[in-house]
Amino acid sequence: LGLLAETGLVFISDSRTNAGIDDVGTYTKMFSFGVSKERTIVILTSGNLSITQAVLSLVEEDIDNAAPESLHSLPTMYAIARYLGKKNREIMALDKDILSCSNIAYDCRLIVGGQIKGHEPALYLIYAEGNSIRATPETPFLQIGETKYGKTILDRAFRFDTGLDSAARCAIISMDATMRSNLSVGPPIDIAVYYKDSFELRHKRRFPERAPFLIKFRRQWEQELQEVVTRMPMVPWDE
Amino acid sequence: LGLLAETGLVFISDSRTNAGIDDVGTYTKMFSFGVSKERTIVILTSGNLSITQAVLSLVEEDIDNAAPESLHSLPTMYAIARYLGKKNREIMALDKDILSCSNIAYDCRLIVGGQIKGHEPALYLIYAEGNSIRATPETPFLQIGETKYGKTILDRAFRFDTGLDSAARCAIISMDATMRSNLSVGPPIDIAVYYKDSFELRHKRRFPERAPFLIKFRRQWEQELQEVVTRMPMVPWDE
């Protein structure tokens, strides 16, 4: 999940991968890149692990080789979204047909967000096919992976003008709702906040399942929700 | 959505049907049956409208013909769940193969709940294949149709020992969350509450889209959620 706010960006991801319910693994899905005081970029991944790892390998190679096109050299976030789409298409050309033969979908969606000096922060979702869409003040968040459980709180409580502290809390509520209701989403949780014009990822943390903060957060959220329910208007049966 | 509580049952359904996004209709998905002072039964439907209407036609015919097996004569809620499964299989035998030829899934899930004198209230979900599962105090709600958006509030705020007033409010929150996030779910909303051992459906209402109650309810829910977010613990970046 990526959130675009007036004052910056919030990123959150879980770490569960699974091939069926009896083959569960832990891999981070958040990757950060940057050039100090010049650009900060965060990538989130979803879909088939072999594909997302392959895409990330190409991205890292280009940085290591100081390629003409890389996350460290491309001039805009749009160019970076296009570039990631191209990498996705390269892996698709290698793997899609043979995966199809085994009835495995070519499944890879990325979120990329960040800021390059001289430009506003931006947030993109890149589809498996390599095309992309961009978050706007009107629709200021993008989700990949298991999106439905976590969407309702964002529709109600997150807007472009929400402060980053509350945006981070919305992100945790959204992710925690998804973990609670769907076994394919699981801890540790990675969360990062980028403050506009800082050109560094000042706030980044990983919370394991039993992190005291997460336990306290969950308990309070559940209690607050139960209390809100009791304050809601009664159904007017007799009107 | 059907909720099983210690003191009774709550049912809620939307009224939207769609065949693609440009062919949207309004049909109730809640049907109530009963014999005064002896039994009350509510059926909710989801899936292909031609199938659910066909199943309901068979059910109504059996009542009209005072058939040996009908909602008015079967001795237990389990027998009623089996009976509805059988009706589902009858329609499946008529329609499934030819629907498959047009790549249309045989899609019909029902929720049935109620109480027959001498027995506890019960709530069942009947699959397209005719088999069924039952709600229990441990897992006291059942959903059909678009289930994900509306599940998170129930996981957090509804339990078997929740009172029926709060259960009804949870049901509205759940349905409203689903309507907000998914176009295939839409008003009017039908809601009914059955009080254990009453053997009548005392509370039943339909709320159209612009019902003042729904508008007020939604606005308050959104405000309360936004306020809860600001009360949640801050992310401890520096621990």
* Contact across the interface for B157 and A229, Cβ inside 8 Å: yes
Identify the segments of chain B with pLDDT beneath 70.
Answer: none
In this predicted model, which residue has the larger pLDDT, B21 or A11?
A: A11
B228 and A228 within 8 Å at the Cβ level: the answer is: yes
d(CA B201, nearest CA chain A) in Å: 12
CB within 8 Å: B233 and A225: no
Contact B169 A239 (CB under 8 A): no
C-alpha distance from residue A169 to each of A124, A137, B73 (Å):
21, 19, 54
Computed over every residue of chain A, the mean pLDDT equals 95
Nearest of A118, A131, A122, A160 to residue A41 by alpha carbon: A122
- Biggest CA-to-CA distance, chain B: 73
Query: Is A226 in Cβ contact with B224 (below 8 Å)?
Result: no
pLDDT band at A23 (very low <50, low <70, confident <90, very high): confident
- The token duo for A8 is 């910056």
Higher pLDDT, A209 or A86: A86
Query: In the sheet that B30-35 helps form, which strands lie side by side, from edge to edge?
Result: B30-35, B39-47, B108-116, B122-126, B132-134
Contact call for residues B171 and B214 (beta carbons, < 8 A): no
HEC-encoded secondary structure of A106-164:
CCEEEEEEEEECCCCCEEEEECCCCCEEECCCCCCEECCCCCHHHHHHHHHHCCCCCCH
Is A106 at the interface with chain B, CB within 8 A? Answer: no
Place of tokens 């309901």: B56
The pLDDT tens digits for B79-93 are 999 999 999 999 999
The answer to whether the CB atoms of A152 and B152 lie below 8 A apart is yes
Residue-wise pLDDT for A171-203, tens only, equals 999 999 999 888 888 899 999 999 999 999 999
The H or E element containing residue A169 is helix A164-181
pTM of the full structure: 0.92
Flag whether residue B148 sits within 8 Å of chain A, measured between CB atoms. yes
B173 interaction partners in chain A (CB closer than 8 Å): 229, 232
State yes or no: pLDDT of A17 exceeds 80.
yes
How many interface pairs between A and B have CB atoms less than 8 angstroms apart?
130
